[in-house]
Structure 1
Amino acid sequence: MDRRAFLASLPAAAAAPALAQGAGPGHGGRWTPGADRFDRPDVHAGDRPVGASFASRTAVYGLSGAVGTAHPLATLAGIETLKRGGSAVDATIAVNACLGLLEPTASGIGGDCYAMIWDPKAGKVQGLAGSGGSPRGLSLETVRAKAVNGALPPLGAISVSVPGTVDGWWMMHQRYGKLKWEALFEPAIHYAEQGVPVPDMIAFYIRRALANFRKPGSGVEETDNAMRIWGLGGEGPRPGSVLRNPDLARTYRTIARGGRDAYYKGEIAEVIDAYFRRIGGWLRKEDLAAHRGEWIEPHVTHYRGVGVHALGANTQGIATLQMLNILEHFDMAGAGFQSPLSIHLQIEAKRLAYEDRARYYADPHFAQVPVEWLISKEYAAERAKLIRPDRILTPVYPGQAPSRGDTTYFSVADADGMMVSMIQSNFRGMGSGLVADGLGFMFQDRGQLFSLKDGHPNLYAPGKRPFQTIIPGFATRGGQPWMSFGVMGGDMQPQGQTQIIVNRRDYGLEIQAAGDSPRWHHEGSSQSMGEDDRSLPTNGLLRLESGVPEATKKALAAMGWTIGGPDGGFGRYECIEHRMDGRTRVYAAASEMRADGCALAY
């Protein structure tokens, strides 16, 4: 039987309860801290002797460490780094360097990174924002002259901002590294020189990206460098094609020898400067030399006893906190797992939070972002009052503040109790399409997410960091680490993070089932944030994965939601859970069935 058939075939009485009354007695279940599972009618063994019938596998367990990434070879590199005595941060850097080769559609040293780190010595979550600013020589007037339909183009030099990843790695290693910096690049250099077979999904996305870069009018100034690396003599790799990238191997060797300054002040910076001058772009070595990432204090909210942490800075991280604060005013357990009421409430919380996201989120070094107000319980209570269980809120607006798209996620945990939740990205479609001569990596196109509206806090400015979609996730219980997790994928990320927390806290799913559970993705808001499709219906487009019960889909459509089919845009999840068996630490690690990766523990 289909592993999700039980959901699609639930009787109407169970799957589509009256929206105002919830799902009926016992349907939703209740979560108990420390409980391994609980029994209820909508999650049962099915084809599996234990756990939820829709789970693709069980979590993996280990005592000494765990790694979950979007590529098996990257996961293995992380495990081997831990076994060599490396910290979770060492393994994170090794993993990310590998993914720059193995998963170039979602990551690389031409992009930015963010991380949350559980520091066992400090007993707290630390935050890192490794995000670069726009070129200082690129004016607002030039950007507006290049705009398409009132927004920055998605590809080409106009969308390139300073890559922050290598600097972010250096900052983490300086504070938490155990192994020598050079050693962290050895696995990635080996794979880049020897070659690796390309998995199915990554092959598909490379071919799609290369085709987009080569379309007439794409805005990409040159495509020869990208095609030479990833075209493999044709239009790109097929599943199982062997990919080599000796240019990237040489770049990694340079960084391994010279540290972060080799990238931002040395020979790599010189090559980048010469390349952008040659193609008529704006990024300069002075922009690279001026870049610095920053350690920041994560924000936190408490959702039914779970501390959920998020990064502010110029990210959308606090949208997760806003959604959960709103949902805390509703009986989600009573609403029922995969019920129309449960999904409806989550969508409405998303719509309210994303109006604020579009209105207020920006680089706090350039704008006053009212974060404390946005994530306050008092504001959430006001917003929750707007939601009705039996109809769609129309219209939806951002709150009135008081005066004053393609990503990779991975998680690593070590024997000392350190846990790293890290997300890294070139943004959409592999990045800008631009590869500097001989360097082997593509530059991000994050600049597309600037606003061009006068007075908007995210208005483009030279040297300013654009709004960022990439956000790592972290959750604690009782002041101790619980989950290092993430759901990569553009505007899906806060929506996906919220679904994971609700699945675990309200519906009692373990970490693998929480990720395998069918997802929803709501697209669109009344205000544009660069990636929004302005042709969407008034209330946006609600996409539901195939495992959502048919009765639930029909009930949501009857309410007025415009339902779209699955499109593969439901995010990709990795998670490591920290638990104690008496005095013994145990890690449980889960990975995403929607991607090519895996989780391992030892």
Structure 2
Amino acid sequence: MRDFHIPGRSAARSTNAMVATSQPAASLAALDVLRAGGNAVDAAVAACAVLCVVEPESTGIGGDCFCLYAPAGSGKVIAMNGSGHAPAAATADWYRERGITAIPDMTPHCVTVPGAIDAWSRLVADHGRKGLDELLQPAIRYAEQGFVVHGRVALDWAGEAAKMRKDESAARLFGTPLAEGERFVQKELGRTLRMVAEGGRDAFYTGEIAEDIVGYLRSKGGLHTLDDFAAQQAEYVEPITTDYRGYTVHECPPNGVGIIALLMLNILEGYEPAPGGPLSVTRLHRLIEATRLAFRDRNAFVADPRMADVPMARLLDKAYAADLRGFMSDERSMADLPPAGLPPHEDTVYLCVVDEDGNACSFINSLFKAFGSGIMAPKSGVMLQNRGLGFVIDPDHPNCIAPRKRPMHTIIPGMLTKGGEAVMPFGVMGGHYQPVGHAWVLTSILDYGMDPQAAIDLARLFAFEGQVEVERGIGFEACEALSRLGHKLKPIDKPHGGGQAIWIDRERGTLTGGSDPRKDGLALGY
């Protein structure tokens, strides 16, 4: 039980169903769908659509999504890859011939075809009980009638105002940020959502909406065509897994980085819970070192497996994780990392739903960086993602850009099961931080007995690009001790991501949910 003298939030608890999202409006929309007879997939899509309106810096229908769905009683976890691809004309040679050595941000070249709407449509058709037309109605109302800007949205928006003024279309709506408590209307986006509600997936990928997006991108030098949009297709994929403390952790396979979360768990599994509690220096140090090793492999290997050889068996091998653990020491930071694959033995929204039947859905949707590319199609009001930044131009790298190839993706939904039954849909958003967040939250729950809310509340740090980015919740003494171990610490202004989780206790017939205080949302159940 938490200390009620200290500000915080109790975990949400219920017996029938539960949702957890990063905005109250989205949680309420999902709960309304469940009470009206929809299932977990229906509720997830309805909530996500609302988030695409009311948390516009984090997500949008111009982005991508991934989903893990565990139908009750099936013993299966279904994975959906809803990421988009590069234009057919996007070859590495095209960029090199023009002296471009890295994909430039805030340009059409960082925009991949949005995959979200196609994935939503397939998921609802295959696994839902309601139609997309009904599920999009709450989002349409918020777009057309407006919503009240919440605190984290206002903070993020203010920090990106200069970016939003660089695109003439985006500047019209987003160039002057609104303050917390002000009302924001997006008429064009509302009309676009109405068209998708009436015409389904094809209304987005063919016809007027696609013509608006493609025409605007090409006017800025983009390579996109209407054929590129019409060809977008979400893909059911086989989840990848590892076992941790008697549970099975499921992630989507590459081109996402769920495999890096599993690699980190395999490394950390070799240790007993660190003495001194969940924020002990030893635990933090081990997480930092495991992150450095795992991200070394992420940067070397994770790519679209349809077009690159991704060594998934090696990365998931427990023996490989044990070998990596051998490079780590509790007494000091690694001065140098071994080469990737050795030794030879090698701003996003997340939500989750559990319905009355026990179906569990883990769902994530993203534009990548805040407001994605910063490019908004003028007539449709669609803000476009910048997932193309996941590509490189180096022809010898597995993640080199290529026609219709999908980039390395940072967004990852998670699912925990035991004995074939869902135990917890979970996820932690936050760009590159996400696999670290998965490992941090899961080990907080399974190693330290925390409930989902307490685990999500816990302070975070992130070893990235040679520094350790530290939230203010990591104490001064711990920071001093980490510095003595050889880590270079960097305080950060904004916290690391956000997260949601719902624990399913089948013995007691209860649900326990948590939603991240780093965002504006909450968990709700009945």
- Tell whether the 8 Å contact from 1:333 to 1:507 is kept in structure 2 after alignment: no
Aligned CA distance change for structure 1 residues 415 and 165 (closer, same or farther; 3 Å): same
- Tell whether the 8 Å contact from 1:146 to 1:153 is kept in structure 2 after alignment: no
- Tell whether the 8 Å contact from 1:135 to 1:284 is kept in structure 2 after alignment: yes
Summarize deviations over 1:116-147 as a string: whole Å, max 9, x none.
Answer: 11111422211110011101123323334667
- Tell whether the 8 Å contact from 1:492 to 1:569 is kept in structure 2 after alignment: no
In 1: Cα distance, 2:227 partner to 2:305 partner: 22
Of residues 247, 252, 264, the one that matches 2:205 is 264
Note if 1:100 corresponds to 2:41: no
Summarize deviations over 1:45-102 as a string: whole Å, max 9, x none.
Answer: 5444xxxx57x21111122211111111111111111111111111111111111110
- Tell whether the 8 Å contact from 1:106 to 1:427 is kept in structure 2 after alignment: yes
In 1: Cα distance, 2:271 partner to 2:263 partner: 14
Note if 1:84 corresponds to 2:30: no
Of residues 160, 166, 170, the one that matches 1:226 is 170
Equivalent residue letter for 2:54: L
Equivalent residue letter for 1:563: L
The residue that corresponds to 2:360 in the other structure is: 419
SS in 1 for 2:506: strand
Aligned CA distance change for structure 1 residues 278 and 153 (closer, same or farther; 3 Å): closer
Note if 1:398 corresponds to 2:340: yes
SS in 2 for 1:491: helix
SS in 2 for 1:162: coil
Aligned CA distance change for structure 1 residues 574 and 146 (closer, same or farther; 3 Å): farther
In 1: Cα distance, 2:345 partner to 2:277 partner: 40
- Tell whether the 8 Å contact from 1:373 to 1:401 is kept in structure 2 after alignment: no
Compute the displacement of 1:333 (Å).
4.0
In 2: Cα distance, 1:390 partner to 1:362 partner: 34
- Tell whether the 8 Å contact from 1:272 to 1:285 is kept in structure 2 after alignment: no
Note if 1:306 corresponds to 2:247: yes
> Which protein has the larger Cα radius of gyration, Structure 1 or Structure 2?
1
Note if 1:468 corresponds to 2:468: no
The residue that corresponds to 2:480 in the other structure is: 554
In 2: Cα distance, 1:251 partner to 1:477 partner: 41
In 1: Cα distance, 2:441 partner to 2:256 partner: 19
Equivalent residue letter for 2:413: P
In 1: Cα distance, 2:27 partner to 2:127 partner: 20
Structure 1 residue ranges without an equivalent (≥5)? 1-36, 38-44, 215-219, 525-539
Equivalent residue letter for 1:75: S
Compute the displacement of 1:462 (Å).
1.6
TM-score, normalised to structure 2's length?
0.96
Counterparts of 1:139-538 in structure 2 under 5 Å?
A: 139-144=91-96, 150-214=101-165, 223-231=167-175, 235-334=176-275, 336-396=277-337, 397-400=339-342, 406-524=347-465
Equivalent residue letter for 1:230: F
Summarize deviations over 1:476-512 as a string: whole Å, max 9, x none.
Answer: 1233211111110111101111111111111111111
Note if 1:579 corresponds to 2:510: no
Compute the displacement of 1:204 (Å).
2.2
The residue that corresponds to 2:85 in the other structure is: 133
- Tell whether the 8 Å contact from 2:103 to 2:109 is kept in structure 1 after alignment: yes
Structure 2 residue ranges without an equivalent (≥5)? none
- Tell whether the 8 Å contact from 2:164 to 2:170 is kept in structure 1 after alignment: no
The residue that corresponds to 2:75 in the other structure is: 123
The residue that corresponds to 2:520 in the other structure is: 596
In 1: Cα distance, 2:97 partner to 2:475 partner: 48
In 2: Cα distance, 1:438 partner to 1:267 partner: 9
The residue that corresponds to 1:10 in the other structure is: none
Compute the displacement of 1:163 (Å).
0.3
SS in 2 for 1:441: coil
RMSD: 1.9
Equivalent residue letter for 1:519: R
In 2: Cα distance, 1:304 partner to 1:362 partner: 29
TM-score, normalised to structure 1's length?
0.84
Summarize deviations over 1:399-432 as a string: whole Å, max 9, x none.
Answer: 248799x111111111111111111111102111
In 2: Cα distance, 1:102 partner to 1:46 partner: 33
Aligned CA distance change for structure 1 residues 579 and 147 (closer, same or farther; 3 Å): farther
- Tell whether the 8 Å contact from 1:62 to 1:587 is kept in structure 2 after alignment: yes
In 2: Cα distance, 1:82 partner to 1:94 partner: 10
Q: How many residues align?
A: 525
Compute the displacement of 1:280 (Å).
2.6
Compute the displacement of 1:240 (Å).
1.3
- Tell whether the 8 Å contact from 1:146 to 1:152 is kept in structure 2 after alignment: no
Worse overlay, 117-126 or 107-116? 117-126
Summarize deviations over 1:243-284 as a string: whole Å, max 9, x none.
Answer: 001111110111111110111123322222322233332221
SS in 1 for 2:271: coil
Counterparts of 1:15-54 in structure 2 under 5 Å?
A: 46-48=3-5
Compute the displacement of 1:547 (Å).
2.4
